[in-house]
Amino acid sequence: MEKLSVLVRPELEGDPFYWQAGPTGVLLSHGFTATSAEVRPLAKLLHAQGYTVAGPLLAGHGTTPEDLNRVRWQDWLASVTATYQELARNCTRVIVGGESTGALLALYLASQVPEIAGVLAYAPALKLQISRSNQIKLRLLAPFIASVPKGGPKDDNPWQGYAVNPLKGTLQLLRLQKALRPRLPAIHQPALLAQGRLDGTVTADAPQIIHDEISSAVKELHWFEHSAHCMILEKELPQITEVTLRFIRNIESQSISAPQKNNPEVTA
């Protein structure tokens, strides 16, 4: 069978990036089925403020949906870990973050690597608005149906990624959620959680669960009234950026700059 390349907005830049600047590094990971185009607008704003910023292209993304069906969530984590290690070699401190699935990967990595200075979690996809019966259907259909269409775009956000949801890949997202939940108490770093009131993908209680279960002494949960799921591509990006910059500068002022661990172990 011929592979279908179904990238929405292929003209956008979606490759991995690494933009050198100051001693504080910020990692921003995109979400499920997306590319680095999802985090580039925020990354550019942070880089303009003097931060070294990097974003991976997660395994199985930016090519074909079939590729996403062939990888495990641990492969996504390996993509994020490699980018973190590059930042850690060159920066005094590294803050890790991401949107949706990217936020989960950042949280998981923070649970492994105590030297990470802070976490930025935008619309963290710990729980999806999928009923239990539909999850059962997903598990039954995934061996036989490669993907299902997402439907047309609902807005003009500069989002790049697959126009379909690969079903085996979706199962890996559910497994990542399950693997992360018991690790939340192992997260001690300052954490910024941001969620849109109009998010139709993640359940409304997901960010509060993370907020309550992580062990961070410093943790913030911000709601944005006019944002949906791809919140860092939407009209409240200036306000999100302001909150993010204030959070990062507070970390810097507190001198949370322990020596970086360059080779964190990736575990399931």
Contact of 36 with 57, CB cutoff 8 Å: yes
Residue 210 backbone class (left: φ over 0; alpha: ψ -120 to 50; beta: rest): alpha
Cα 26 from Cα 51, distance rounded (Å): 7
Q: Residue 195 half-sphere exposure, CB side, CA atoms within 13 Å?
A: 22
Query: Which residue type sits at 36?
Result: S
In the block, tokens 């860092």 appear at 232
Known active-site residue 229: yes
Q: 266 burial class (0-12, 13-18, 19+ CB within 10 angstroms)?
A: middle
Cα 165 from Cα 33, distance rounded (Å): 7
Cα 125 from Cα 102, distance rounded (Å): 8
Handedness of CA 115, 118, 122, 126 (dihedral sign): positive
> Which is catalytic among the residues 36, 199, 216, 227?
199
> Which is catalytic among the residues 30, 47, 211, 229?
229
Q: Which residues are catalytic?
A: 100, 199, 229
